[in-house]
Structure 1
Amino acid sequence: MKGGREGRGCAGGGLRPPGLLRRGLRFLRGRARVVARLVLWSVVETGQTFLLGYALARALDDGFLAGRAGVGLAWLGAGAGAVVLGALGTWRVYGCVAGLVEPLRDRLVRGVVERGVREADGGALSGLTQQVEIARDTFAGLVMVSRSFLFTSAGALVGLFSLAPPLLLVVGPPLVVGVALFLVTLRPLARRQEGFLVADEALADRLGAVCPGLRDITAAGAEDTVAADTGRCVDAELRAARSLAHWGVARVASLAIGGQLPVVLLLVTAPWLLDHGVTPGALVGALAYITQSLLPALQNLVHGLGTSGSRLAVVLRRLAPAPAPPPPENAPRPSTPTPPPTDPGVPGEADVRDALPRPAASDDALRLASVTFAYGSRATPVLDGLDLCLPHGTHLAVVGPSGVGKSTLTGIVAGLLRPRHGTVHLCGRPVPGATSRAHRVLIPQEAYVFGGSLEENLGELRPKPVPEDELWAAAEAVGLTEVMVRLGGPAAEVDPRALSAGERQLVALARAYLSYASVVILDEATCHLDAEAEERAERAFARRPGTTLVVVAHRVSSARRADRVLLMDGRSVAYGDHDDLMARSPLYRDLVGAWSPVPVPVSSPGASEPSLPLRDPDGVDPVARPRLTGDRGHVVAHGPVGEVQAAGDLRDGGSLGSQG
């Protein structure tokens, strides 16, 4: 189980983030329905435990000992029927346990993948392949053994009382003492177990570093030093193992007192019990309860919770998400929940303004300098020498036919792709980089929604918990309110398969709206929404204080709403507003015509279709030409600095040029 995030030394010691128990209880409260079903089917399963001893006692007292073999067989048949009923309960219990275990596994996998992909955590592979599965299996085992002990003990004690109340005086006290002793020693035992695991990992890490370098150690004459360091790790593990063994005695004692002592006491007090009205059948039934129900259940609890419980605690602590980095100092977070918005068009505006990161005023929101990117060392560049500066608060629409590199551009801006040449800066921070990631959020075309509550989905990019007022405000802003109400509010469980593609996109949009990122990148993130819903979402981000919005547009209305439009056609780029490009770019006019089935006035928005390949009837592209009429300095000729092309020199072919 290697790859934990905390530093490890020979002395051991694990990371202990606070609130592990509280998070577990909150996790169970969020799945109250699953827990209720688990309890219901556990009660059904308990019927088998109750009838195990009761039917045996009645079969002896009322049947075979009384000379009524038919009655005895009937009671034994009732016991057999209870076994069938218990098997049904056990079968349904496994389904309920899966309803608890799989959401936990999904949550842990999300955390590990985020660390591995976004933070380059070296322990992510071990976490994903080993620790997550250990946590999943161990959690399932703990739920089963603790549930089994609770309901089995209840069924057995009720059965003992039904047979003869004096039996409880013999069986009950040692059982209570044994369980109490186990619970008292559970925490120190778990700490010793964790200490042993950490010491074992420290020794393994030490040996992993020493063994490959034995020749170097010998050549440098460092045998004594290395042996001493390794010996300290061995001694630390030895001390941890001895301490664990000492506390293991308490576990054996609790098992002996709670599970085996009642058998001895029952046999010793048998004459007294028979003299006080306890029948032979009840005595045999009590022995069955102890040996067939209570003792196995207690053994499973002691071994399962005592060993697997500490192991689960260790794994969960190592998989626990790292504390979210605080927003920049000049971006204070709200100290009180925001009131419901008064303007439905700009929900939670003051709160979002306070929470967003605010880079230095002199920094552009986005700056690309001579960016070149290709998929492969010998592939034709998709972007070639692209320059682009985007001031803060700008709403940019990126347009062009499929396959020209629009999604590639968003991947480079978000830091998911590394350019072959050139630099990218987001809010003054280099991309990729941990600091720049705090300033941007990217929503792809296929929005991701995970199993869990709606508030967990919406608050994924924020420190927890997010005030409910903010959740509703974000939902109102992007148009998710109707879906949220239908699902049952923020606390409702979400089944991603039950949501439509458009509803998943609305959830992702609300998640991005709640984030502290000041640069929002929508890579066709509204393609499954109608034109009205798309406009509402885009305007919400455009009015979100301090936000720079980059939209890969698939409707002409998106380009009309944007402050600036970046046209990509696979050979060059053009930059300007909608009216400017309509006036000077045949390619852009052709693209708008392909979007709109019929001519649409520039002033009227309307639904349109995804773009078709560009068609230039004259076979020329004047956009790539420098010093065009109406060029406001946004178009820069493709080529090295200093190579000025004649006004009539039209460049065919090539890849995306520069844009300033």
Structure 2
Amino acid sequence: MNRSSEATPTPPPGPYRRGVRFLWRRWRVVLRLALWSVLETGQTFLTGYALAHALDDGFLDGRESVGLGWLGAAALGVLVAAYGTGRVYRAVADLVEPLRDSLVRQVVGRGLREADGGAVSRLTQQVEIARDTFAGLVMVSRSFVFTAVGALVGLFSLDPLLLLVVAPPLLAGIGLFVATLRPLARRQEEFLVADEELAGQLGVVAPGLRDVAAAGAEQDVAEGIDRGVAAEYAAAGTLARWGVLRTAALAIGGQLPLVLLLATGPWLLANGVTPGALVGALAYVTQALLPALHNLVHGLGASGSRLAIVLRRLIWDAPGNSAPCEDVTPERRTSPAPALRLSALTFAYGPHAEPVLKDLELTVARGEHLAVVGPSGIGKSTMAGIVAGLLEPDAGDVRVDGHAVRGPGAVGRRVLIPQEAYVFTGTLRDNLRYLREDPVPDPELLAAAEAIGLTPLVERLGGPDADLVPAELSAGERQLIALTRAYLSYAPLVILDEATCHLDPVAESRAERAFAARPGGTLVVIAHRISSARRADRVLVMDGAHALCGRHDELMERSPLYRDLNGAGEWGAAPDEEAAVSHPPLSLRDPYRVDPVPRPGLPGDRGHVVAHRSVGQMEAVGDLGDRRAPGGE
């Protein structure tokens, strides 16, 4: 399977473009927020303007009533601004809560669909970070813009010389702050990645502390956790060092104008600036620009960059944004006409449903044995149905042996064996030659039966011409018949969609190896046991967001999901299962109708006992002979 170089899916829009679209869809709320913020602009303007005229036209001119009137106007502006601020918070809530609800839906959906070790950190921490920082970002950005406009207009109204003194250091401080945003964002991302990895480590270790202690692995596990803590600590230290530049930007843009006003005070007064105007300018800097810039630097510098990173990790990496299947195998097979090629394959069960497959890229070479693994419902059987022509994809292209999966001759190029094998009433020979138009010679039929493992059933039934009654066959026997039928077909591509789930590991191994050795044949197995993946040339791991391909040992190192599947219950298997033989249960001679496990190493064996009938309560083995009532163990 090679990664296609022809069809690279366009990445989804980033957080900034998504943010613009999010605000545009709620333009009424944004407009309402801006209108209420205008009231704060009026209060900011009156902060210095009213104070300047109260001094120049009132108190310094001996007219106290005029001075008190200007101060009263400033106080009225404060009351009006307070009313507007209350309405501002309501508008901000109308922006913030829809964002939080959308993020929670995406994170919960991802956690349900995938083995996502970072889902807990995303839901409990990063979604709340996004919510709180988005609200703070809206507040501080809005406040700085309207406050700065009000203050600068007030300075110009009092005297343009005041604007000449205040504006250059203010712009320099803002420029320095903007220049540090990108490095700060990278350091913030490094910190969040370290935090998420540490949360994922703890999520694995915490439930297995008993196993860690039982295996004596405390030191190894502690060292791994220590490395995660150290990485997060180092990232936090680097972020803090870059934060020093925020302090410098604040000093230049907010505190240097104050120093310049005081230092140039005599010159300003000598050039026509009134004492009241100078005091008003000091009020603009200390009461408006400095607090607004302080909030902007700390809000946008820390919370803003954090919000951008969190949204990128929550939305860019959300489910459905499937990357092409990456081939981690160094050796790459090439063929002018591969056995199977999927290009940007996308499929959803309905126009409004979440895509089960999205932009899936897959190439299977002739003669290759591929196993497909992944959680239930991830799209493995859907992919098999599309390759077999039973489902039509919403987008993308599917080619089997260089031809479309639907059209003349398509049926003869691939065969799909589903989990529930189809066997019809008739002779065994009729069932086995069902996919062949020409008669099948007995030597070929019997050789196929021997290769798949059907010979014991053929002999028990009395030969190929024996009559079959499907209801009298076990599920495993029906699967063996269907497998032999596919083996006898001329189709070069065979797809086994859990077609051996009713066979024991030995019988399953025999059947799969027979198909893998079939001359000119290509095998794709939707696996339900880890042994199927180990036998394959390569394994495709489907996890909903990304597809990863490689050999078993490589994926054990590269794919956390594949490691989890190896340790899951139905995937766990005894190391010697290839050499194992099937053992029937022991005879029911025990008076309690409880028998020991017949052989160590069977899946699920932990040295316990097996009950052959339903029981309401169980006791420990040592208590079975005490003749007392069950003790609830």
Please report the TM-score for the alignment, with normalisation by the length of structure 2: 0.48
Q: Max radius of gyration: which structure?
A: 2
